[in-house]
Structure 1
Amino acid sequence: MKAVPLLALSFFAFIVSGSFAADAPAKPNVLFIAVDDLRDWVGYIGKYPASKTPNIDRLAARGIGFMKSYCAAPVCNPSRAALMSGLRPFTSGVYENNNDWRTVIPENLTLTTVFRQGGYYVCGAGKIYHEAYPRRSEWDDYLANEGKRGAETDAQNEGTSGIRFAPLDCRDDELADWKITDYAIAELGKKHDKPFFLACGLHKPHMPWNVPRKYYDMYPLKDIELPPYSESDLDDVPPAGIKMAKPWGDHAEMLKTGKWKNAIQGYLAATAYTDMNIGRLLDAFDKSAYKDNTIIVLWCDHGWHLGEKQHWRKFALWEEATHAPLIWVAPGVTKPGGRCERTIDFMTIYPTLCDLCGLPIPSHVQGKSIRSLLADPKSAWDQPALTTYLFDNHTVRTEDWRYIRYANGDEELYHDSEDPNEWTNLAMKPEFAAEKAELGKYLPTENHPDIGGDKGGGKKKKAE
């Protein structure tokens, strides 16, 4: 065989690599929107019709809104650590807010690192990871100071127990989320020489639900409706579930003070404030040079109870704590106005982004790409959602069923397609043994011990 000159080989490699291939398609950008504590009370899901989220719904109308999307953990820190690392809580041992995830998740495993190694400029602002444990070395740029949150935290609390809310007499731009959104808007207005991965992490509706008064005015107290509720709901819940619900705490105080509707008003107001910022971001995106070549994914770290099952906050394995919105817009893949009824969890986000952007999916990632569902929301999907809360407590969710098994062996089984409020626990009925056995196949057989708590900022945020 005749030898090819070294110069010719180098020139050929230069072209194949894409460095000199003018016709090579540009990699898509990524706009990565995270919302803290946003449950399924958004318009496109329709769980609470009075909720006003026109901008979230506007985004869903551009692509696919998932109707049955679930978190990896109903707690901020483990949920975010799992999504960003590809490692489920029972693999990493990150179960609580006071677990310093950085001690067990090396930087080379994370989603940000995969994108940086793939040639992306990776930047962000706000809450992507649990901010008690920042690791800025993963980012090319990150908003250093999102501003004081005094207007939010210094207001007189009108809530009860630990549920905090109050209308504020302030401007929209006096809250931290405005500055976080401004950062993302500024990045969309810049000229980028490389494809970008832009993360925008919004705090609201995380407590305190302290937002400008006009958002409270959107929801007159006389019009607030309570969520579906049964006084006997916990009668068939086993001790481990009761321990998580803690009905003697927040809920008992809410009933005692008569502020249940006030709290719902506060949550809806905080959600409306975040929806406003998402609208600002979408307006800037539509005016940017990147609107036709950018994947948008909006996700939430978990859901939130507002009195269902006599429970408040997250920290549980039922529908309200685990269910949260997920929206995808992927140019050339998704079609406008799509809805997907398949049951997935947020561990699919990491591999799907890699898949859509032509990046290798690392072997450690414990989730599968849902590209097929983005292209056809009705296509086959056989993976249920799996959520973990604390050591060896898990729930499996399919389109029809929810099965919960606690560390002590207690069980709950709900036929969600027939019992959407999960009011009737079928776990002890022998005629449902086959359903339990089938769902139990998806539970992990090994659970990493809890890595333990730190002595710093994470511990004080354990309840948040």
Structure 2
Amino acid sequence: MKNATRPNILFIMSDDHAAHAMSCYSGRINHTPNIDRIAEEGIRFDNCFCTNSICAPSRATILTGKYNHLNGVRTLYEGFDGRQDHVAKMLQTGGYQTGMIGKWHLGQGGIYDPTGFDYWNVLIGNWGQGEYHQPTFSEMGEDRVYDGYVTDVITDLSIDWLNRRNADQPFFLMCHHKAPHRPWEPSAKYATLYDDVMIPEPDTFHDDYVNRATAAAEATMRVDHDLTLIDLKEETPEHLTPEQAKSWKYQRYIKDYLRCVASIDENIGRLLDYLDDTGIADNTIVIYTSDQGFFLGDHGWYDKRFMYEESLRMPFIVRYPQEIKPGQVTETMSLNVDFAPTFLDFAGLPIPSNMQGYSLRPVLNGEHPPDWRTGMYYRYWMHRIDHNVYSHYGLRTYRYKLIYYYADGLGLPGTLDETNQPEWELFDLEHDPAELNNVYANPDYAEVVKTLKDELHRLQAEVMDERYELDVN
């Protein structure tokens, strides 16, 4: 049942925080009690996926409710044109106070500055990433350096804005953390966390990329080969064997990553306590998510971009005591393109017909609508720029994943002007959840391939994207 009082919306998003580094998702490598509290007091989505696993494009999709070929941010090298309509503008016009604090990463200056926000204070420098220590922000266009650790600073600024808001209006606050983005610099408080433990290596840590598309073997995001001195903070000991060196690098990487996550979890606790202390928790929707997934040594990788599960899957947990029953888990498929329509639905505002997602409100109320999607469309555009990942698109259903590496930059900004041989991959997730066995050429799956290609093409047409297949049959 909808409430007469429109809820506040607190949208907390980190950068590159994989679901399997959260204990509420049965992550075995760390403990996140404050993030877990949101899940325990609300709902956890186990099949939430991004439509393009890279930072800026995902953020543009979250704002607009549209796929990247329509919102104009297909790669990291395309800024977000703030003159277009998006959810913050709609909420602002609809009577919400709107704030954007933290990582913007959608361009800076002119049309690329945040629009639709009554207040914004966003990280600048370092290609829009900002710095972990002594970060520089642009506050409504004025640059300022803040003393401290970036996760703490973003939370301080968020609480300050909440204290200054007009209590007679509902608010929409986007609190966007930089962490745990590379190069994983922890705060002094957590600098020695995990020093006395060994983080378990993932089951696919020694993946050899056999029986997969060429793209998997060619990607330059390997823990053993591609982590830099800036990432590792010290030289790899010379006496180690190659296998020992790989494990040593993994421990250096993953511990700093998890230390950054520990700061996020602590600061989420601060925000939850603030809502409790000010008496507004019951009428505030709290969302925690990340802009995409991340490889935590899975397949021997760090980073994201691929349509493989660890990169595709987003954590998504929501608490709203007035409407959402606690302790729920849903398998219903959701996408980042659904976030904007969901915000508008809860705000009692119309959802524009050109938004391509759907409100998740029925799902948040424990329903599984009978006409809900059973598959999702994905596309990664940045052909071979940064980590040498080939451009690709694909379809994921509940059981199967079909990926087509069209391997062409198409002349877009942020792509390599060089083509590669197109290839297909098909994974039967029921029998191969780790995605190690490409069965595309297996004759036993011939009918499955035909059915999935038809569905892929249907979804492409539905979202108004174009296909680039050399072998369309």
The normalised TM-score by structure 1 is 0.79
Partner of 1:444 in structure 2? 460
Instruction: Specify the SS of the correspondent of 2:261.
Output: helix
Residues 144 and 210 of structure 1: CA distance in aligned 2, closer, same or farther (over 3 Å): closer
After superposition, the C-alpha distances for 1:319-358 in whole angstroms (9 at most, x for unaligned) are 1111121012234431011111122211111111111221
In 2, distance between residues paired with 1:108 and 1:95?
15
User: RMSD of the alignment, in Å?
Assistant: 2.9
- Report the count of equivalent residues: 404
2:95 is the counterpart of 1:113: no
**Counterpart selection for 1:138 from 116, 121, 144:** 116
Alignment of 1:376-415 (within 5 A): 376=366, 380=370, 381-390=372-381, 393-408=392-407, 409-415=422-428
**Counterpart selection for 1:362 from 334, 352, 357:** 352
**Counterpart selection for 1:223 from 167, 181, 198:** 198
* Equivalent pair of 1:31/1:198 in contact (CA under 8 Å): yes
Instruction: Specify the SS of the correspondent of 1:113.
Output: helix
* Equivalent pair of 1:340/1:377 in contact (CA under 8 Å): no
Cα drift, residue 152 of structure 1: 7.2
2:157 is the counterpart of 1:183: yes
Structure 1 residue ranges without an equivalent (≥5): 1-23, 154-171, 450-464
Residues 282 and 432 of structure 1: CA distance in aligned 2, closer, same or farther (over 3 Å): same
After superposition, the C-alpha distances for 1:64-123 in whole angstroms (9 at most, x for unaligned) are 011121112111111111111122123345221111221xxx534211111012111111
Instruction: Specify the SS of the correspondent of 1:151.
Output: coil
* Equivalent pair of 1:64/1:335 in contact (CA under 8 Å): yes
Cα drift, residue 145 of structure 1: 7.0
Alignment of 1:331-370 (within 5 A): 331-370=321-360
In 2, distance between residues paired with 1:144 and 1:424?
43
Is 306-315 or 361-370 further displaced after alignment? 306-315
* Equivalent pair of 1:185/1:285 in contact (CA under 8 Å): no
Instruction: Specify the SS of the correspondent of 1:220.
Output: coil
Partner of 1:418 in structure 2? 431
* Equivalent pair of 1:412/1:427 in contact (CA under 8 Å): yes
Residues 308 and 284 of structure 1: CA distance in aligned 2, closer, same or farther (over 3 Å): same
In 1, distance between residues paired with 2:262 and 2:72?
35
Amino acid at match of 1:370: L
Partner of 1:204 in structure 2? 179
Cα drift, residue 430 of structure 1: 2.0
Alignment of 1:314-325 (within 5 A): 314-325=304-315
**Counterpart selection for 2:52 from 73, 91, 94:** 73
* Equivalent pair of 2:377/2:460 in contact (CA under 8 Å): no
2:220 is the counterpart of 1:252: no
In 2, distance between residues paired with 1:444 and 1:378?
24
**Counterpart selection for 2:68 from 89, 104, 109:** 89
**Counterpart selection for 1:236 from 203, 211, 220:** 211
Cα drift, residue 60 of structure 1: 0.9
Instruction: Specify the SS of the correspondent of 2:342.
Output: helix
Structure 2 residue ranges without an equivalent (≥5): 136-145, 228-241, 383-390, 408-421, 468-473
* Equivalent pair of 2:9/2:284 in contact (CA under 8 Å): yes
Residues 337 and 237 of structure 1: CA distance in aligned 2, closer, same or farther (over 3 Å): same
* Equivalent pair of 1:345/1:386 in contact (CA under 8 Å): no
Partner of 1:43 in structure 2? 23
Partner of 1:151 in structure 2? 133
Cα drift, residue 279 of structure 1: 0.8
In 2, distance between residues paired with 1:135 and 1:282?
29
In 2, distance between residues paired with 1:194 and 1:99?
34
Cα drift, residue 377 of structure 1: 5.1
In 1, distance between residues paired with 2:211 and 2:397?
21
Cα drift, residue 225 of structure 1: 0.8
Alignment of 1:304-323 (within 5 A): 304-323=294-313
Q: How high is the sequence identity, in percent, across the aligned residues? A: 30
Residues 70 and 144 of structure 1: CA distance in aligned 2, closer, same or farther (over 3 Å): closer
More helix by share: 1
In 2, distance between residues paired with 1:313 and 1:223?
21
Larger radius of gyration: 1
Residues 349 and 122 of structure 1: CA distance in aligned 2, closer, same or farther (over 3 Å): same
Cα drift, residue 125 of structure 1: 0.5
In 2, distance between residues paired with 1:289 and 1:332?
13
Instruction: Specify the SS of the correspondent of 2:446.
Output: helix
Higher RCO, Cα 8 Å, sep 6+:
1
